[in-house]
Structure 1
Amino acid sequence: MAEEVKLFGARRSPFSHRIEIALKLKGVSYEFIEEDLQNKSPLLLKYNPVHKKIPVLLHNGKPIAESIVILEYIEETWKTNPILPADPYERAIARFWAKFLDDKCIPAAWNACWAKEKEREKTMEEASECLKTLEGELKDKKFFGGDKVGMVDIVANFIAFWLSALQEAVGADLLTPEKFPVLFKWSEELVGCPIIKENLPPRDQLMAFFRARLESSK
């Protein structure tokens, strides 16, 4: 019996994209179901009644919600091409950095780009500190996972691609090769990976979306 794998997501969402990266790295075939985030489908609301948001992975009729939880599920279900280290301590460290990204770094970068003028300096400083911490962890490695893409790289996809489009669209100056050369080089390496690149939304469309949001907020 063939496995049934469906992903409810949105092409412009970095959280959906995380799941696509993991599934593709594992060689898992799946059906992508595009959700209109302004008009969510009854199926999405049924499968994620608590948060009512994407992504949701449906595996043989069983729904799993929240991107980090889904990544862990994928890792435990399909053993090929692991995205977490085998060593328990190193696995814990990877989970720590994934949590740091979701709890601190990504919200800080997002807030810095959307901040009003009077709050811009403070929010940019907070985001820069987070990026500086990430750069210190990356050190001289190609990826956070070492020589290959791992859990932390997948979770950091927002920093690698979405942040670049967002900061250009709103006129922010956060992740640059001058400020963060190591992290910037990593972002280029990650976005250049074929498995990651092939499912990214068109950059011009993403920038247009951010610019429209900026205009509507004025």
Structure 2
Amino acid sequence: MTARALWFLCLIVGSSPEAPVAERKASPPHNRKPDPSGGASTEETPRSQVQQVPEAPRRPRAAAGAEPCARACRADLDERESYCESEFAVNGIVHDVDVLGTGIRLVTLLVDQDGLYKMNRLYITPDGFFFRVHVLALDSSSCNKPCPEFKPGSRYIVMGHIYHKRRQLPTALLQVLRGRLRPGDGLLRSSSSYVKRFNRKRDRQVQSAVHTQCI
């Protein structure tokens, strides 16, 4: 076979459609584009289709008891109204506080002549320059902070009622007192009495109420 014939045979074999073609292995794409419609791609794996569970709403913290106690202990009446609603009104310095039980305190106030706004039948005992006034303070608020609050050495404006008869108080309470509360002593209840720290503004308000006719 001549060289020209051999060249012609190779040309025919190389151009045959059945000639083997190198096979390429398709590798999975690493990044897939999202579906143009906005939905998830149909080729996503099940793991990527797991929906996140919505977080449960957090419960608000329970309100502290300070605010309800403050409201229960705060006098809603102003100085003039409290003066008219009360049987006695004084301002004095707390000499001592005797705790007889839960919510039961006997308070001794030292009151000068100018501090006796309103007396009626309030029992007072001379003590040098001052007068001693005994007051039973009953606290029904069940709060950690006493209501009303009395700190020894501090001056307060106090308005309340006067203890007259044994039937004003329950028998169980009278047994606790053991005769230490006398007719004419002051009686304060946390829901209906006025007890606030003394200051000049409140003093002027009470002094003004003294000269005002109560309706």
TM-score normalized by the length of structure 1: 0.20
Greater share of residues in helix? 1
Greater share of residues in strand? 2
TM-score normalized by the length of structure 2: 0.20
Which one has the largest radius of gyration?
2
